[in-house]
Structure 1
């Protein structure tokens, strides 16, 4: 359960603001104007603080409800600008397009790729095979993991196999574009966790009682520990 102690605004207001921000291509100022039309006066800086504080917590809580993914992964990284500098968002989906995992890193190298794979494997188990581009760093990361395995993970460095994950990058970039530029690595990581969460909800990847009859908003509120959406 999230701790909203000390919050000046109602919980429903906080959650609807961060859900809209993570789910749609909006800026904080857009949300400030939208809430004003709903007779709620909230500064865009407050919404920013809510997003950074609560989105990663909700995403973490939601992980225990995530359905298992397939054993054939497609992995790639895309660029995210933080304080005017490009950072790297590692992402993987299975061959059905279900999100496996994601990780924002400062560098694009073997160590960063291995951190991503380690995170994904802890959460989802070992895949049978992974498709990726011709990146030597990504291949080296899997080679390092394979040194401790009796049955190695098969690596397929075939570009067309990665079309599915590259298409999914676009869905994330569509939401981040109006955000213009993240001001810190922490804020970028927090907000991206929320964006990925909303993307996973849309793909029906959570096992929640009655999920088939729930809207995206209802699923988000349920994962946040609330009983009803705004």
Structure 2
């Protein structure tokens, strides 16, 4: 992992890292993070926290992404409408069958070109040839699978068959409400690109494991975060 350079910042690395973690890990606004810091005796402005999130969020996410094991070969793709700056855009999302977020892409269209862009990014970033690609019945997916020669692996179905991707949208919907809508396509994409790897690191699904198993996985997640935020 690449160490992160926190030099020339007035606050120590531990404070910056904690603020970034709270913002991405929980459904908190910048103002919420500011108040949590103030309760702990750290007086920092909202603008400083916003700058930390923009600067260090992608660096931490990239380190976490590099250290994650490869995703499974069964992918679930879905798209939902989002309002960004008063405009109607589409949030394309891909997860594997264990809930790992593979990629999130904010696009202007809900067509073959948009679906093709997402699939090509997935193939390039994961380096995998999927065993199956589960989608809804949008015709753009069928056209895209033909271009990529994945027709035999395409599994179009209804909402029930693609529950994994549908449920994955809920976390972003909560964040969208907390932030009172994303302000621009660029800011939405920046946030979502950093949020995905951080969400993956702490998505432990405690309802499926024992308490002892949860403690083990939580410790591993904290160790991964510590390694990803190691200062230069």
Question: TM range, normalised to the smaller chain?
Answer: 0.7 to 0.9
Distance 1:65 1:153, change over 3 A: farther
* Counterparts in 2 of 1:11 and 1:161: CA distance versus 1, 3 Å: same
- Cross-structure match for 2:47: 45
Q: What's the CA shift for 1:218?
A: 4.2
Partner in structure 1 of residue 80 of structure 2: 78
Aligned counterpart, 1:127: 130
CA drift of 1:28 comes to: 0.8
Asked if 2 retains the 8 angstrom alpha-carbon contact of 1:127 and 1:153, the reply is: no
> Residue 74 of structure 1 contacts residue 93 of structure 1 at CA under 8 Å; is this kept in 2?
yes
Partners of 1:213 and 1:162 in 2: CA distance:
28
Q: Does 1:110 align with 2:112?
A: yes
CA shift, 1:10, in A, is 1.4
Give the CA deviation at 1:216.
4.1
Give me the CA root mean square deviation: 2.4
1:22 is aligned, of 11, 18, 24, to: 24
2:80 & 2:58 partners in 1: Cα distance? Answer: 20
Counterpart check, 1:139 vs 2:122: no
State the 1:162 CA deviation.
0.4
CA–CA distance in structure 1, aligned partners of residues 129 and 227 of structure 2:
29
Deviation at 1:87, TM superposition (A): 2.6
Count, aligned residues: 218
Aligned to 2:219: 214
Given that 2:80 and 2:92 are in contact with CA atoms closer than 8 Å, whether structure 1 keeps it comes out as yes
Task: Give CA-to-partner distance per residue, 1:116-152, whole Å, 9 cap, x none.
Answer: 1111111221102211111122222222111xxxx75
Contiguous gaps of at least 5 residues in structure 1:
205-210
How far, CA to CA, are the matches of 1:169 and 1:215 in structure 2? 25
Q: Is there any run of 5+ residues in structure 2 with no aligned partner, and where?
A: 205-215
